Amino acid sequence: MKNTVVVLAGPTAVGKTALAIRIAQQLGTEIISADSRQCYRELSIGTAKPDAAELSAVPHYFINSHSIREEVNAAMYEQLALQYTADIFTRHPVAIVTGGTGLYIRAFLEGMDNMPAVPPAIRTAVREGYAANGLTWLQETLQQRDPSFYATAETQNPQRLMRALEILEATGQSINTFRTATPRNRDFRIIKIGIQLPKELLHGNIVKRVDAMMAAGLVDEAASVKEYRHHNALQTVGYTEIFDYFDGKLRIAEAVEAIKVHTRQYAKRQLTWFRRDAEMHWFDAREGDEVLKWLEQQV
């Protein structure tokens, strides 16, 4: 049988971790995370990282693998995930990849465009500009200076916008100039599974998750990494709002509500991304048994 990668994708708080563990246990294999934040050792509560019991149930890769002081990006993930799968394939014919970072999943399955290097000073200036002026500044800057990119961009995603602005500042050219439409061929079979929930249930899960994060000590975790707040790893939902609380821009109740709102918006962007993939087989997240039955027929 040809080696196979099973991708389990979906929005935040939909239940990917638990289902991925069930699948891995049934198939007797291991899990590669495709979450751009759970790789950081210093970030656990705000990233909804799998707990100790979950991590011990099945071997996991790309969790607690890096420090927030390190630069981690999709191109690096592509190479790491290929190494992880090659390792897993020496023991098992199937590997599980699960997460909600669509760009990382695409990089692994299709390859990344070769982007030019960005000098650290430019990266720092862009991130400081965003920290000082917010998302609107990014949107207006790119709409004016790189309209071709902005016309099809994820305009609510600050990471994507900052990356485009960095490339523009470093090269004077649009990030679109460096993109190709030719995916690489991988030497393994790919099965893509998407899981979703009715909107009201997903939003309920998000509320419960954020409340649980606060109870577990998200404020203390954010305080412990505050000195690194301008690093890429911390330009993200759950931490930027708490930093605003530290700065006196928000009361704590407002920060918590902002995390819930921004997480819902992020989940919507994730679903939009994954639904564009015609190869994705969709299931209700509550129908784990159906997923397992269907997958047995595929592998």
Task: State yes or no: 12 annotated in a binding site.
Answer: yes
Is 46 known as a binding-site position? no
Q: Is 204 marked as binding a ligand?
A: no
CA distances, 48 to each of 99, 109, 131, 228, 286 (Å): 11, 24, 24, 19, 19
Do you know the residue count of the chain?
Answer: 299
Q: Is 102 annotated as a binding residue?
A: no
- Tell how far CA 99 is from the center of its chain: 7
> ∠257-104-33 over CA atoms, to 5°?
80
| Per-residue tokens: 141 | 């800057």
Burial of residue 259 (number of CB atoms within 10 Å: 0-12, 13-18, 19+)? buried
Tell me how far the alpha carbon of residue 124 is from its chain's centroid.
Answer: 21
Does the annotation flag 210 for ligand binding? no
Per-residue burial over 277-289, b if 16 or more Cβ lie within 10 Å, else e, is: beebeebebeebe
CA-wise closest residue to 69 among 104, 107, 100, 43: 43
Residue 15 assigned ligand-binding role: yes
The response to whether 158 counts as a known ligand-binding position is no
Q: How many helices (H) and strands (E) does the chain have?
A: 12, 6
User: Is 11 assigned to a binding site?
Assistant: yes
Known binding residues: 10-17
Known binding residues for substrate: 12-17
Known binding residues for ATP: 10-17
